[in-house]
Structure formats: C-alpha cells, structure tokens
Amino acid sequence: MVIGFDAKRAFQNLTGLGNYSRDALRILARHHPEHRYHAYTPRPGTLPEGLAGRVSVHGPRTLLGRSLPSLWRTRGVVADLVADGIEVYHGLSAELPIGIEDTRVAGVVTIHDLIFERAPDLYGAIDRRIYRAKTRSAVARARRIVAITEETAGDVVRLYGADRSRIRVVHPTCHPAFREPIPPEALEEVRRRHALPAGFVLAVGTLERRKNLMVVLRALVGLPGVPFVAVGRPTPYLDELRAFARTNGLDDRVRFLSGVSSADVRAMYRLATVAVYPSLLEGFGLPILEALASGTPVVTSRGGCFEEAGGPAAAYVDPRDADAVRSMLGAILADPDRRRLMIEAGLAHAEGFRDEVVAGKLVAVYREALAG
C-alpha cells in the first residue's frame, strides 16, 4: 500500500499529539517496510528517529499552498495525494482534508478524545467550535475511524452518531525506550542533577487543573515524610499547587519540575517508588502505561479510559477523594511485596502495547479502509 499521513504535529508538536504522530510513522516504517509512507506537513523538517529513507516528506508545492499553509492542509493537499498515488490517508489528529471523500484515496482518521464535548468548560468557545467542526466533519467522511480507547469509540457513537462498524479501537504504543534498562550510574546521575530524594511519589504530565494534582497534595498532608515530584509543563494551575503546599507545610517535600528531557523522565519513572495519575478526564493516559512499562507501580483514577491504560496492573481510586488517594498510596508505600506484584503485573500488561502489536492493528485498519 501507498500510505499518506497528516504529519503536521509530528514536526510541530513536542508532546501528546506529536508523540502519537511520530510513533505511528516510526512503528509502521520499522515493522511494515513493505508499504510506502508519505508524510504531508505545512512546514517540512527533519524526520525523527532515523526515518530518513523510510518516509517521504512533502510540503506545499504551489505558491498559494506555501502562502496559505492551513488552506493547503485542509483542502489543497488532496490534489497532491492523488498525484502521488496515495491509496490510504491517515489523519492522525482528528482531521481529514475536505474533498478526499470525492477521490479514490481512502480516508482514515484517529480520534483521541471528545473532552471538548464532555467538559466544555475547559475550553474557550471559539476553540470548542473549531474542534467540533473539524472532528464532526472527519468522522462523517472517514472510511474508517481509529479510536484510541473503547471509551472514545463510545463517545463518537453517542455524541456524533457514527456507525460503530466503522470504528476500530487501536490503543497507542508505548515507546520501547521505557522498557530499556538504565545503568545504575545513569540513574544516580539523574537523581543528583535534579536533587531527587531516595524514594518519592511521581506524577508526569502537564501541570493543569484537569490533571488534578491538588488531590495528591491533600493526600500528602496525612502522609508525613513522603516526598512528591511532579514533572510537566506549567500552567497557571501551578500557582495554586504551590500556594497549597506552602500553606500546608509541604514545601520541603514537594518538587515541581519543567523542561525535563525525555531521557530524564524515563529515569525518574525508575527512581520513583510509586507513580500517581489522578486525572479527571483523558483520551488515554499514556503516563500510566509508561510507568508500568518502566516497572513502577501506578495509582490512577477509577473508571473510563484509565482502566484501559492500566488494565489489571494499576491501583484505582476515586480521583476526587483525597482520603482514598492517601489510603492507597500509604498502603502501597508500606508494602514491598505488593509493589513487587504490581511491578510484575505492570510489565506483563505493557507487553500488549508493543510497537509491533499496534503497527499490525493500524495496517489492518488501512486494508479495511482500502477494501471498503
């Protein structure tokens, strides 16, 4: 097959959607080299992870396209897809170009979540309208829809009226780097450089209200001596977290870190005693899976997509109940045998998210779309 991708975020987004896009290109090129891959982006750049020679990168070819890259991405790219002989085009972030449905190119779109519909107060009115219009349009016109969780698949059916027979659930991959061993001396170097304690509770993810880290701070008030390290991009919510920590005597055992490299984050998972992810709403919750693959026990939110990410390996609590979070963290921190069993279960669960498994599922979706 000749497969094209909307690769804008693979080149321009360094976190969630960008990681998903880069991972899709990486795992498909590596595990299914029998196909040809083309990445379309308004601003071509350097291919990540040694994909040179495996993926062809294309930008706008006309003066109009280069002058109006957004218009090219939403409409003009269709002519390029046809000219390049693309058979399947995968919109990796809830968008498909207008007009693709009038060609022989089979459109596939990934829907990560519909949080903007379920929790509209988290988004501005204009952003909500844009996200709704793009996502509804892509869902209506795609031959196949990839939902990254069963929960998102259900939302697409319930909120947008999509036929469930067009939806395939393909969970994200977990980058193999999280499984790779890290030498003890490298771990200690990261510990020293970031001044990390000998054992700590770790949270990874943007420091925003939806991630709900205040419940962890409230839990820590009743867990004397337990250090907490939160790693992620700061938002104004961080000011509230710092104020609570200061007011409640937690300053000396709470750290908020940003700008941490991916390699250091991988080391921090292994240095932590427990990872915590009490988010209120997510598309998947990749840090849950990253921690499990790293051999770190996880406490996360009960219900929804979180149980798809954590499976039987994670411990689940009501994310709005600080007492429940405190009780669960305390029990796990005090019981090395329980941690050992959770680590074993986590490593086994993470096996189902290996690159080759996810790549195979995506190729199966492309074949269905092409046949349909």
Model pLDDT for residues 233-270, shown as the tens digit of each residue: 999 999 999 999 999 999 999 999 999 999 999 999 99
Largest CA distance in the chain: 65
The verdict on 110 and 189 lying in the same domain is: no
* CA separation for the pair 125, 155 (Å, rounded): 20
Closest CA to 234 of 216, 211, 250: 211
Alpha helices in 181-253 (DSSP H): 184-193, 214-221, 237-247
Q: Which domain holds residue 319?
A: 176-352
What pLDDT, on a 0 to 100 scale, did the predictor assign at position 49? Answer: 66
The verdict on 271 and 155 lying in the same domain is: no
The verdict on 61 and 98 lying in the same domain is: yes
The verdict on 234 and 323 lying in the same domain is: yes
Identify whether the C-beta of residue 177 lies closer than 8 Å to the C-beta of residue 266. Answer: yes
The CATH number of whichever domain residue 237 belongs to comes to: 3.40.50.2000
The verdict on 13 and 156 lying in the same domain is: yes
The verdict on 168 and 69 lying in the same domain is: yes
C-alpha distance from residue 166 to each of 89, 134, 142, 156, 256 (Å)? 16, 18, 8, 11, 43
The verdict on 232 and 259 lying in the same domain is: yes
Closest CA to 88 of 358, 360, 367: 367
* CA separation for the pair 56, 177 (Å, rounded): 25
The verdict on 280 and 361 lying in the same domain is: no
Closest CA to 69 of 44, 96, 42, 100: 42
Sign, CA dihedral 187-193-198-202, equals negative
Q: Quick one: the chain helix, strand, coil %, rounded to 5?
A: 50, 15, 35
What pLDDT, on a 0 to 100 scale, did the predictor assign at position 144? Answer: 98
**Structural domains counted in the chain:** 2
The verdict on 345 and 222 lying in the same domain is: yes
Strand partners, 107: 89
The verdict on 124 and 20 lying in the same domain is: yes
Residue 254: partners with Cβ closer than 8 Å, 6 or more residues away: 217, 220, 227, 228, 229, 230, 245
- DSSP-derived secondary structure for 73-119: IIIIHHHHHHHTT-SEEEETTS---TTGGGSSPEEEEEE---HHHH-
What pLDDT, on a 0 to 100 scale, did the predictor assign at position 250? Answer: 95
Strands 144-147 and 167-169 come out as parallel
Strand, helix or coil at 305?
Answer: coil
The verdict on 191 and 120 lying in the same domain is: no
Closest CA to 93 of 35, 13, 29, 164: 13
Nearest-10 crossing angle of helices 336-350, 286-293: 110
* CA separation for the pair 292, 347 (Å, rounded): 6
Query: For the sheet containing 144-147, what is the strand order?
Result: 55-58, 36-40, 2-6, 88-91, 106-111, 144-147, 167-169
- Please name the amino acid found at residue 99: G
Query: Which residue ranges in the chain fall short of pLDDT 50?
Result: none
Give backbone dihedrals phi and psi of 347, rounded to 5 degrees, phi first: -65, -40
The verdict on 195 and 284 lying in the same domain is: yes
What pLDDT, on a 0 to 100 scale, did the predictor assign at position 12? Answer: 79
Does the global pTM surpass 0.85? yes
Q: Dig out the tokens for 323 from the structure.
A: 């007492």
